[in-house]
Amino acid sequence: MKSAVSYMRMSTDRQEHSIESQERLIKEYAKQHNYYIQQFYIDEGISGRNAEKRPQFLQMIDDSNKGNFEYVIIYDSSRFARNLEQSLVYKSILKKNGVNIISITEPTLDEDTSLITDALFGAMNEMYSRKLSKNVKRGMEQKALRGEFCANRPFGYDYDKELKVLVPNPQESPIAKYVFSEILTGRTPYSIALEMREKNIRTKSGITLERRRIEYMIRNPVYKGYLRWTADDKVIIRKSKHEPLISEDDFEEIQRITNERATRLRRNAKPPEFCNHWLSGIIFCSECNCVYTFVKAREHEGKKARFRCSGQSRGQCSSGISFRVDALEKQVFSILEEILDNDDSFYTLNITQKESPKVDYSNDIRKLKQSLTRAKEAFLAGLDTLVEYGDNKRTLLAEIEKFENLQKENKAHKIDMNRFRVQLTNLLAILKSNQDALSKKEAFRAVVEKMIIEKTTKNITLYFFA
């Protein structure tokens, strides 16, 4: 008997090609043609587009070098691969190892003809796979446009297959509501994630609610009763029938809070909870532009807590001056008090306008103008009537005007100095209070962008947000 192995694969697109069905037909073929099948290599529920994601397939290719079998029996060429390039590459490897491929549903051809048919079948299978992928995406896009759910269930919800709608999960939805309520009070995703870890709160799949998952939750419109679908850089958001876990107003307030916090934090900056003091991460050296780091007190050496230039500690800064924490605090208090008491200094502050994240509508405007041009060309070519062209033109011009107006609104707001004075007054009161360091840091970062220390004069310059 001729030694052989069998490779079988099944994705979710053609259920008639189940593993059981393939195995039964391959065994019948082997018996009729005198093949002894040593081993079955099976990749179940895996697409044939990428061989790197098929472990059993790669194992079979590796084993072909051992000389233990001469044939690989498959159901058809699409089970082997649906990527033309990979199909030719791996068939070439098997051929070099003295292994032939036998498809039980496709004709056996001579060597010269098989080169052409391999390329033809590979191209056909790849075209089928690409077409299938497009059809699946198009189907899911249509579901999303109808407001139907077509993604993995979000934390806090289950999917009712009969009703085809999301329903609140009795165990998870109260936790999701708690997360939103805490964000509204000013807590950060990181601090909530720490609490989730301490309480061992996990998803159904056993995943911890870590910071990035919470950040994704508070950005996901599904919790305010909408569905979002993203594919090929296209984002579809539609109102849904499922029960929201947060009101639309509260959801938008959370977006405002999150966006505002993002403007205050440097890129890759540690969350405020990591910092040892409310001044941590916000003081910079005028000489080397490095941040000052907090150095804890060493009571046994008689040294108090202080801030030191991180550039100096790495040998990048020539000055070795450090500043005691209590002295810096007093200087900040003094600066804020002087600003509030002196109108001349108040109106000459270094203030950066807070800019809420803007949406660039230029691409939408460009596409609408292209559509307007095509509508005119269709009319001139006699494909559309004058009435149809007129309707299309009015609709497109109205859309263009809408997006152009939205683009004009993307301007920084004017600073309200009276409101800013109130903010500074409240900040000073919080900093002098007995509130915890995290609360003070949140309040400080809401108003102060950075502090620059001039080492030679020890002068401090505050740069503000408004």
Length of the chain: 466
Which contacts of 236-244 are long-range, i.e. CB under 8 A and separated by 24 or more positions? 236/141, 236/144, 236/145, 238/144, 238/145, 238/146, 238/147, 239/147, 240/147, 240/149, 240/165, 240/166, 241/147, 241/165, 242/149, 242/157, 242/165, 242/166, 242/167, 243/166, 243/167, 243/168
Quote the Cα angle for 109-30-68, to 5°: 85
Is pLDDT of 258 > 60?
yes
Is pLDDT of 324 > 50?
yes
Is pLDDT of 147 > 50?
yes
Q: What is the mean pLDDT of residues 201-212?
A: 82
Q: How far apart are CA 357 and CA 271, in angstroms?
A: 20
Domain locations along the chain: 2-137, 157-264, 272-355+415-465, 362-408
Q: What is the pLDDT, as a whole number, of residue 450?
A: 86
> What is the percent of the chain where pLDDT is above 70?
75
Q: What is the pLDDT, as a whole number, of residue 246?
A: 92
For residue 154, which of 174, 144, 171, 169 has the smallest C-alpha distance?
A: 169
More confident residue, 181 or 14: 181
Q: What is the pLDDT, as a whole number, of residue 40?
A: 93
Q: What is the pLDDT, as a whole number, of residue 41?
A: 92
Radius of gyration of the chain (CA): 33
146-150, 283-287, 368-372: which range is least confident on average?
146-150
Q: What is the pLDDT, as a whole number, of residue 357?
A: 46
Is pLDDT of 358 > 60?
no
Q: What is the mean pLDDT of residues 270-279?
A: 68
Q: How confident is the model at residue 131 (pLDDT cuts 50, 70, 90)?
A: low
Q: How confident is the model at residue 356 (pLDDT cuts 50, 70, 90)?
A: very low
- What's the whole-number average pLDDT of the chain? 78
Q: How far apart are CA 81 and CA 13, in angstroms?
A: 14
Q: What is the mean pLDDT of residues 255-261?
A: 80
CATH class of 2-137: alpha beta
Q: What is the pLDDT, as a whole number, of residue 154?
A: 83
More confident residue, 159 or 456: 159
Q: What is the pLDDT, as a whole number, of residue 108?
A: 62
CATH topology of domain 157-264: Hect, E3 ligase catalytic domain fold (3.90.1750)
Beta strands 157-160; 165-168: pairing state? antiparallel
Scanning the structure block, which residue is given the tokens 């947000």?
A: 465
Beta-bridge partners for 256 = none
3-state secondary structure of 456: coil
> What is the percent of the chain where pLDDT is above 90?
11
59-63, 237-241, 299-303, 369-373: which range is least confident on average?
299-303
More confident residue, 20 or 45: 20
